Amino acid sequence: MSQDDKTNQQWGGRFSEPTDAFVQRFTASIQFDQRLYRHDIQGSIAHATMLEKAGVLTAEEKDKIINGLNEVQADIEAGKIEWSIPLEDVHMNVESALTDKIGITGKKLHTGRSRNDQVATDIRLWLRDEIDSISNEMTRLQAGLIDLAANEADTIMPGFTHLQTAQPVTFGHHLLAWNEMLERDFGRLQDCRKRLNQSPLGAAALAGTTYPIDRSLTAELLGFDKPTENSLDSVSDRDFAIEFCAFASLLLTHMSRMSEELVLWTSAQFDFIELPDRFCTGSSIMPQKKNPDVPELVRGKTGRVNGHLFSLLTLMKSQPLAYNKDNQEDKEPLFDAVNTVSDCLRAFADMIPAIRSKKASMLEAATRGFSTATDLADYLVRKGIPFRDSHEIVGKSVAYGIEQGKDLSEMSLEELQQFSDTIGADVFDVLTLEGSVAARNHIGGTAPDQVRQAAERARQLVAAR
């Protein structure tokens, strides 16, 4: 039986029979980890460069390997490489293609490393690039959201608690609340990037290597901040993947909350906003329908990303040090989480700036539900009445308004004074919606001037990234 007949020739020396064909398919990861090829080649080029400086490779061998790796990458991108399941993963496929091109010199590339530190390096390199791309999309979304908020600083709408009308706010203020969520998410993403940006290359299988490698050099060549400190942890750590999925879960939770409001606001019952047709679909049977499919799908995809977080947490919860085959299961949840987050952000970054507010509908809705009741209570307190007594007076006024079908601002002065003779003609300054929002003129408040200032601060923060 030849070596080729036994099993994978890159590790099959001690095996006496070939791997079962089903087991080959079951244990292979090339079906999904082939997307790491660029980062695998990037890491191999850095490793070969370091091996030459350490005296393990000659300059000629190093150049031959690097040129060969560049040719392999070109072949992959031209569709000339056929991925092999018997070769298991992207690392062995790339190395095999390299050896086919440059001969025995290609077999020297793996000196001083293992697939364990190789895959840990590849995933970190890949995820770092994806984080940078996602960061750019988040910045694009926030920039559009902030501009929309500034333009809607004077647009009055009802604010809600318990989904009941509470107090009037401005649409711009509401949108900036969304931006605060996203700003925290952006910070968490940058924290994740900082912690993952350490190089495990050189940890080898689990204990390091006997070759005179320079891990600081490969870390520098690959743009890492430094090498990881412990070889056992280096090959078994997947905290960075879990942390990314935790970020993704919270981001999608926030986007799901936004989506819920967008769905409500586009309904005939609210009629607060209109989404452009290009982000909606129709019905196959009801010709009048305009369905907000984009926010509905973002809301739905939150469960998918949450599931990936729990998959990774469960994957790692019982693993002894160091590397275990279980860790092969880290990639598909992580890959899909990245894809989902990227798509959702792109959809929102395109859609949010194109939202058109229906100012008249928002204003009319804010007049319902006695949204200035708290303003009347505050007015009475400023006139010297204790808050608890003011609360009771306003409660009785509201009950009267419900009986009469009148909002507080629609009542005459005489009607209001039947509940307290402290009420004067100046009360109507605070009972109007405009007066109510303008009165909350402090940092974090909904007054239009404050919204414009907050939007400018947010704009400067995003621009400084």
- Percentage helix, strand, coil for the chain under 3-state DSSP, each rounded to 5: 65, 5, 30
Class of 116-363 per CATH? mainly alpha
pLDDT of residue 20: 81
pLDDT of residue 13: 62
Q: Of 26-35, 103-112, 279-288, where does mean pLDDT reach its minimum?
A: 279-288
pLDDT of residue 21: 82
283 is catalytic: yes
> In which element (H, E) is residue 357 found?
strand 356-357
Does CATH number 1.10.40.30 belong to domain 373-431?
yes
Per-residue pLDDT band at 282 (split at 50, 70, 90): confident
* 289: pLDDT strictly greater than 80: yes
- Alpha-carbon distance values, 126 to 36, 123, 416 (Å): 7, 5, 66
pLDDT of residue 11: 53
Mean of pLDDT values over 154-159: 97
The boundaries of every CATH 1.10.275.10 domain in the chain are: 20-111
Non-local (6+) Cβ contacts of 332 within 8 A are 32
pLDDT of residue 2: 35
Out of 44, 47, 91, 162, pick the active-site residue.
162
Mean of pLDDT values over 34-63: 98
Residue 271 and residue 263: Cα distance in Å, rounded? 10
Per residue in 186-235, pLDDT (tens digit) is 999 999 999 999 999 999 999 999 999 999 999 999 999 999 999 999 99
Does CATH number 1.10.275.10 belong to domain 20-111?
yes
* 10: pLDDT strictly greater than 80: no
* 4: pLDDT strictly greater than 50: no
Per residue in 61-82, pLDDT (tens digit) is 999 999 999 999 999 999 999 9
* 273: pLDDT strictly greater than 70: yes
* 297: pLDDT strictly greater than 90: yes
162 is catalytic: yes
pLDDT of residue 6: 42
* 1: pLDDT strictly greater than 60: no
Per-residue pLDDT band at 3 (split at 50, 70, 90): very low
Per residue in 368-409, pLDDT (tens digit) is 889 999 999 999 999 999 999 999 999 999 999 999 999 898
The boundaries of every CATH 1.10.40.30 domain in the chain are: 373-431
Out of 2, 16, 44, 283, pick the active-site residue.
283
pLDDT of residue 17: 74
Mean of pLDDT values over 3-26: 66
Q: Record the pTM.
A: 0.92
DSSP character at residue 212: -
- Alpha-carbon distance values, 256 to 251, 345, 355, 460 (Å): 8, 12, 17, 26
Determine contact, residues 219/199, Cβ cutoff 8 Å. yes
The boundaries of every CATH 1.20.200.10 domain in the chain are: 116-363
